[in-house]
Amino acid sequence: MARLAALECLACQAALLGLTIPLALYQLLGAGNQTRAGQATFAGLSQALPAALEAAGVTPGTPLITDRPIWLSSSLGRPGLALPDEPATDILGLARRFGAQAIVVVEPGSDARSSGPAWAGDACFRPIALGVGASQAAGFVISEACR
């Protein structure tokens, strides 16, 4: 009887491994694809964004408010601030406190912060063209009157 229970336990473990290994491989492949897509997005942004910001009058080296602060900061070599899920007045307060002059939304519509219905239509946020290579990113300059 003990031998039969041991065989059943081995069969259960083999079945569990048979499910776990393919799922783990699937997750690793998905993460790899997602990482490559992210790298391509930020490579394009690092090429297009500096010229677009300069053309819009944004002072080089000033922080950018963004939905992807770590990646964008690393790609551009300038400070990044996390775009809060707050109304326009709070975003403007953040910009004033740290000297930010622009907002870059890397993935529009990916979450409540980046869809922007609460602040994108505000007169303080002027949309700018980010240029070729910026994927679907959206840029906004904070007007001087609101800084």
pLDDT at residue 3, as a whole number: 62
| The pLDDT of residue 124 is above 80 | yes
pLDDT of 132 reads: 62
- Put simply, whether the predicted model's pTM sits higher than 0.95 gets the answer no
Within-domain flag for 127: yes
Sign of CA dihedral 115, 116, 118, 121: negative
The verdict on residue 52 lying in a domain is yes
Helix (H, G, I), strand (E, B) or coil at 128: strand
Task: Please check whether residue 9 lies inside any domain of the structure.
Answer: no
**Within-domain flag for 27:** no
Whole-angstrom Cα distance, residue 113 to residue 119?
9
Dihedral sign of CA atoms 108, 112, 115, 118 in order: negative
In a domain, 19, yes or no: no
Residue-wise pLDDT tens digits, 70-112:
999 999 999 999 999 888 999 999 999 999 999 999 887 765 5
Cβ-in-10-Å burial (0-12, 13-18, 19+) of 79 comes to middle
d(CA 121, CA 125): 7
User: What pLDDT does residue 1 have?
Assistant: 58
Domain residues for the domain of 128 are 44-146
Number of domains in the chain: 1
- Does 23 fall in a domain? no
In terms of pLDDT, which residue wins out, 139 or 20? 139
pLDDT, position 131: 76
For residue 3, tell me if it sits in a domain.
no
Give tens-digit pLDDT for 9-66.
777 777 777 777 777 666 766 665 555 555 677 888 999 999 999 999 999 999 999 9
